[in-house]
């Protein structure tokens, strides 16, 4: 798949960056002078201005290779928004974006670490570990961070799983009656164009969960709630037909990359 490359550090972009949401309002003036306005959702888009400073030759070559493969603005590619959560419905396990093992029981409206009732009580009623999983269309060879808030009435554990069809990785965390954010990071180095993120509960476990988040970077950023859209933009394009780069020295390249995508895509 064509996807915007990560930097050698495992970061998706450098900061600061500019992100804009663009909308359009259609104005219709009637013969009597009355004006009718309505939003045009099909014209909405998201734009990013990414600053590339002191990139080495390999990092800039990866961006250039994507630009050439996409033929400038012509073809689309996947852009993983570094300012957003890559998972859909981050607080609603009832949605179809989540695949649930059959012996897991979910009760929404539980307490959460921010003093509201947006958490979910999850119980594993089976005799084997059970998972709730979401898969996104993104490179398996990128650095990812999976995080979730967890709390249980009695001592227990929660396992976070990052996996592709060929390479799984898991990390188990002790969970107590105090809310804590569990964070698992790493690069699977897998060749697939899809990666799954799962939360696994041991047999008999009863854990309150809140705020599942996946990001294409080294660590967890502040939690961002999602519903029907996420930070995976599969139909992104370059906004320019030419990339401009300035060589500041040996193996030091500066440039600005402008990307846009239709909202919700």
| Tens of each residue's pLDDT in the chain, 265 residues | 999 999 999 998 999 999 998 888 888 888 888 888 888 777 789 999 998 999 999 999 999 999 999 999 999 999 999 999 999 999 999 999 999 999 999 999 999 999 999 999 999 999 999 999 999 999 999 999 999 999 999 888 999 999 999 999 999 999 999 999 999 999 999 999 999 999 999 999 999 999 999 999 999 999 999 999 999 999 999 999 999 889 888 889 999 999 999 865 5
Tell me if 93 is assigned to some domain: no
Tell me if 221 is assigned to some domain: no
Q: The domain containing residue 59 runs over which residues?
A: 18-82+232-262
**Residue length of the chain:** 265
* CA–CA gap between residue 162 and residue 141 (Å, rounded): 12
Tell me if 46 is assigned to some domain: yes
Residue 265 is predicted with a pLDDT of: 57
pTM: 0.92
Statement to judge: residues 105 and 131 lie in one domain: yes
Statement to judge: residues 206 and 112 lie in one domain: yes
Statement to judge: residues 199 and 239 lie in one domain: no
Statement to judge: residues 141 and 190 lie in one domain: yes
> What's the Cα-to-Cα distance from 61 to each of 7, 66, 102, 218, 253, rounded to whole Å?
11, 9, 46, 22, 10
Statement to judge: residues 162 and 78 lie in one domain: no
> Is the Cβ–Cβ distance between 175 and 156 less than 8 Å?
yes
Number of domains in the chain: 2
Alpha-helix runs per DSSP H in the chain: 57-69
Q: Where are the beta strands (DSSP E) in 62-142?
A: 77-80, 99-100, 104-110, 119-124, 130-136
Residue 63 is predicted with a pLDDT of: 96
Statement to judge: residues 120 and 188 lie in one domain: yes
Statement to judge: residues 156 and 245 lie in one domain: no
Statement to judge: residues 147 and 176 lie in one domain: yes
Statement to judge: residues 238 and 154 lie in one domain: no
Tell me if 227 is assigned to some domain: no
Tell me if 54 is assigned to some domain: yes
Q: Which residue has the tokens 């996409």?
A: 70
> Is the Cβ–Cβ distance between 156 and 141 less than 8 Å?
no
Tell me if 224 is assigned to some domain: no
Q: Which one-letter DSSP state was computed for residue 41?
A: G
Residue 128, CA atoms < 13 Å, CB-side half-sphere: 3
Report the CATH number that the domain containing residue 166 is assigned in CATH.
Answer: 2.60.120.260
Phi, psi of 95 (to 5 degrees): -75, 155
Statement to judge: residues 211 and 110 lie in one domain: yes
Tell me if 149 is assigned to some domain: yes
Residue 39 is predicted with a pLDDT of: 82
Statement to judge: residues 203 and 109 lie in one domain: yes
Statement to judge: residues 29 and 131 lie in one domain: no
Tell me if 240 is assigned to some domain: yes
């Amino acid at each position: 798949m064509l996807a915007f490359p990560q930097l050698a550090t495992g970061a998706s972009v450098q900061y600061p960056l500019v992100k804009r949401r663009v909308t359009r309002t259609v104005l219709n003036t009637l013969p009597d002078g009355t004006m009718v306005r309505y939003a045009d959702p099909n014209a909405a888009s998201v734009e990013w201005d990414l600053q590339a400073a002191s990139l080495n030759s390999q990092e800039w070559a990866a961006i250039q290779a994507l630009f050439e493969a996409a033929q400038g603005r012509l073809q689309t590619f996947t852009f993983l928004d570094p300012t957003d959560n890559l998972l859909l419905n981050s607080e609603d396990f009832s949605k179809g974006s989540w695949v649930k093992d059959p012996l897991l029981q979910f009760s929404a409206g539980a307490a959460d670490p921010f003093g509201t009732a947006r958490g979910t009580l999850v119980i594993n009623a089976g005799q084997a570990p059970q998972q709730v999983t979401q898969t996104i269309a993104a490179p398996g060879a990128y650095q990812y961070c999976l995080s979730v808030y967890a709390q249980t009435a009695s001592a227990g554990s929660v396992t976070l799983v990052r996996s592709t069809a060929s390479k799984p990785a898991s990390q188990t965390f002790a969970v107590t009656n105090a809310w804590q954010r569990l964070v698992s990071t790493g690069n699977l180095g897998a060749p697939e164009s899809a990666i799954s993120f799962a939360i696994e509960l041991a047999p008999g476990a009863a854990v309150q969960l809140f705020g599942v988040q996946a990001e294409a970077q080294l660590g967890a950023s502040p939690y961002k709630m999602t519903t029907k859209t996420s930070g995976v933009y599969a139909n992104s394009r370059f906004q320019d037909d030419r990339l401009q780069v300035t060589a500041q020295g040996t193996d030091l390249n500066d440039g600005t990359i402008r990307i846009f995508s239709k909202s919700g895509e």
